[in-house]
Amino acid sequence: DVKVTQSSRYLVKRTGEKVFLECVQDMDHENMFWYRQDPGLGLRLIYFSYDVKMKEKGDIPEGYSVSREKKERFSLILESASTNQTSMYLCASSGLQLPLGSYEQYFGPGTRLTVT
Amino acid sequence: AQSVSQHNHHVILSEAASLELGCNYSYGGTVNLFWYVQYPGQHLQLLLKYFSGDPLVKGIKGFEAEFIKSKFSFNLRKPSVQWSDTAEYFCAVSGTYKYIFGTGTRLKVLA
C-alpha cells in the first residue's frame, strides 16, 4: 500500500518566516510533486522532481523552492512566507509506468498552512 | 495552451439520481485522462483513468467515464448516486510528467 506522508496537517506561521514542508513516500517512486489547492482554483503545480537532485518548475513556482536530496523525500520551502501563501499544500508521488504518462499519482493528506 | 475545464462547480443531487460531470481538455499530443475524488477529510484518490483502448472506462464505486476524442471530453458518470458519493471530483490530463487538473466539482448528495 503506497503511503505518502506529510510532516504536518496544520501549520501556522508568521509573515516573513521561512517555512519547510516535508513529504516522504515509501514506494521508491521516481516522481514527486508539490501542489497547492485553493477553492475554485483546483490543484496547481508548484514544483516537481523526476529524480534525486532534479527539479522542474510547475505553474506557480514564485515564492517557493524545493529540495530533493533523497529519493523518498521532497521538501517545499517558502523562503519568506506571505499571507497569499495561506493554502492547502499537497504532495504526490508516482512511479514510471508504460505507456509514459499513464501513471497514477498518490497523494499525501495535505498540510493546511496559515500565514498571519 | 494546455487546460482542463470542469463546467459544473457545484452539483446537488438526491440519492438514486444519475450523475454526469463534464470535463473538457485542451492538450497537444497523446493524452492520459483521470478522475480523482476527494472525500471530506480524506486524501485525493484515483477514481479511474484512461490512456488507450476502450474509450469507456470503469472505475471504483460504480463510476465510469467516456473518452470522446472528437469532443475533447472525458465525462464522469454514475447511474445512481449515494449519500457517500458526496465529495469533490477533479478531472486531470497528463503528458510525460505533469498533470493539469481542473478546478473541481463539489458534489453534494442529499439523503
Better pLDDT: B30 or B102: B102
Chain-wide mean pLDDT for chain B?
92
In this prediction, what percent of chain A has a pLDDT beyond 90? 77
Average pLDDT (A82-110) is 85
Say what the pLDDT of residue A101 is.
58
pLDDT at residue A35, as a whole number? 97
Identify the sign of the CA torsion A21, A27, A30, A34. Answer: negative
Question: Residue A98 above 60 pLDDT?
Answer: no
Q: Which chain A residues contact residue B46 at CB under 8 A? A: 104-105
Instruction: Output the pLDDT for position B29.
Output: 77
Cβ-based neighbour number of residue A58 at 10 Å: 19
Cα nearest neighbour of A31 on chain B = B97
Question: What pLDDT digit, counting tens, does each position of A30-84 carry?
Answer: 889 999 999 889 999 999 998 898 899 999 999 999 999 999 999 999 999 999 9
**Looking at residue B67, what is its pLDDT?**
94
Res B96 pLDDT > 80: no
pLDDT in the model for residue B30 = 78
Instruction: Indicate the residue type of B87.
Output: A
Q: Is B11 exposed, middle or buried (0-12, 13-18, 19+ CB in 10 A)?
A: middle
Note the pLDDT of residue B98. 78
Burial of residue B93, with CB atoms counted within 10 A of its CB: 0-12 exposed, 13-18 middle, 19 or more buried? buried
Give B35→chain A minimum CA distance, Å. Answer: 10
B33-68 per-position pLDDT tens digit: 999 999 998 999 999 999 888 999 999 999 999 999
- The minimal CB distance from A48 to the residues B6, B43, B97 is found for B97
Distance (Å, whole) CA A114 – CA A66: 19
B3 has a pLDDT exceeding 70: yes
What is the pLDDT at residue B110? 96
Q: What is the CA radius of gyration of chain B?
A: 13
Task: Check if the beta carbon of residue B44 is closer than 8 Å to that of residue A90.
Answer: yes
Question: What is the identity of the amino acid at A47?
Answer: Y
Nearest residue on chain A to B41, judged by CA atoms? A109
Cβ–Cβ gap B94/A108 under 8 Å: no
Rama region for B96: left / alpha / beta (φ>0; ψ in -120 to 50; rest): alpha
Chain B residues in contact with A48 (beta carbon < 8 A): 97-98
What's chain A's average pLDDT?
Answer: 92
**Residue A75, helix vs strand vs coil:** strand
In angstroms, the separation between the Cα of residue B81 and the nearest Cα of chain A is 23
Only one residue has cell 529519493, namely A71
Bigger pLDDT: A39 or A98?
Answer: A39
Q: Where are the beta strands (DSSP E) in B1-111?
A: 3-5, 10-14, 19-21, 24-26, 32-38, 44-50, 56-58, 64-68, 73-78, 87-94, 99-101, 105-110
Q: What is the pLDDT of residue B94?
A: 87
CA distance B15 to B97: 38
CA distance B35 to B102: 10
